[in-house]
């Protein structure tokens, strides 16, 4: 089993989502002794896509400039980590009712026509099928699945767009109202998680 662990929280050692991703990975490794983990901390910086990215990556020039090649290499590296993984464990704290900007940037980097999805006569088709995604969702005040939650549906949609339809959530939500209860809900979900 190959696990890709993604963290995106800006709160360092105070991060609940980082603790959850570590706990999820530990559970998976305990049940799968041969599991290999690739770790990516998006808080270290994920370039946002822009005009230069579009011209280098999306338009894919035959002879890219050195600067274009750097943009291509970065995007390819993110995508390859996902392609190689059997399980994605993604930490998604909720900031202002949505996912962190760096997590959005990462999704934009791997949204590659012909590589992570393709357009067919029947509509878009994800090309990263057969993978499992476990989202470590943490929020001070945004309940998972509520009308205020613009993150979980988006994550489920984007992963599904890539062909990853086996998506589960381990949620520590409403932490600002009752931290202990929120952490207990996450622990219960973690215990029910199949390894």
159 Cβ contact list (under 8 Å, min separation 6) = 88, 133, 165, 167
Query: Helix or strand or coil: residue 153?
Result: helix
Is position 8 annotated in a ligand binding site?
A: no
DSSP of 100-117:
-HHHHHHHHHH--BTTTE
Angle between helices 66-84 and 101-110 (to 10 degrees): 90
Contact 87, 131 (CB under 8 A): yes
Is position 17 annotated in a ligand binding site?
A: yes
Is position 46 annotated in a ligand binding site?
A: no
Cα 180 to Cα 147, 176, 185, distances in angstroms: 23, 10, 9
Pick out the residues of the known binding site for FMN. Answer: 15-17
Pick out the residues of the known binding site. Answer: 15-17
């Amino acid at each position: 089993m190959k696990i890709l662990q993604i963290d995106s929280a800006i709160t360092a050692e105070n991060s609940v989502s980082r603790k959850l991703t570590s706990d999820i990975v530990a559970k998976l490794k305990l049940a799968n002794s041969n599991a290999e983990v690739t770790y990516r901390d998006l808080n270290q910086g994920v370039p946002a896509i822009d005009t230069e990215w579009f011209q280098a990556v999306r338009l894919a020039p035959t002879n890219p400039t050195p600067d274009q090649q750097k943009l291509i290499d970065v995007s390819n590296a993110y995508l390859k980590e996902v392609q190689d993984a059997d399980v994605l464990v993604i930490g998604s704290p909720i900031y202002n009712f949505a996912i962190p900007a760096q997590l959005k940037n990462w999704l934009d980097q791997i949204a590659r026509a012909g590589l992570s999805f393709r357009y067919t006569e029947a509509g878009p088709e994800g090309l990263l099928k057969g993978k499992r995604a476990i989202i470590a969702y943490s929020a001070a005040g945004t309940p998972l699945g509520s009308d205020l939650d613009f993150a979980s549906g988006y994550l489920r949609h984007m992963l599904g767009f890539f062909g990853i339809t086996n998506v589960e959530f381990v949620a520590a939500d409403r932490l600002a109202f009752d931290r202990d209860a929120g952490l207990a809900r996450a622990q219960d979900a973690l215990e029910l998680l199949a390894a």
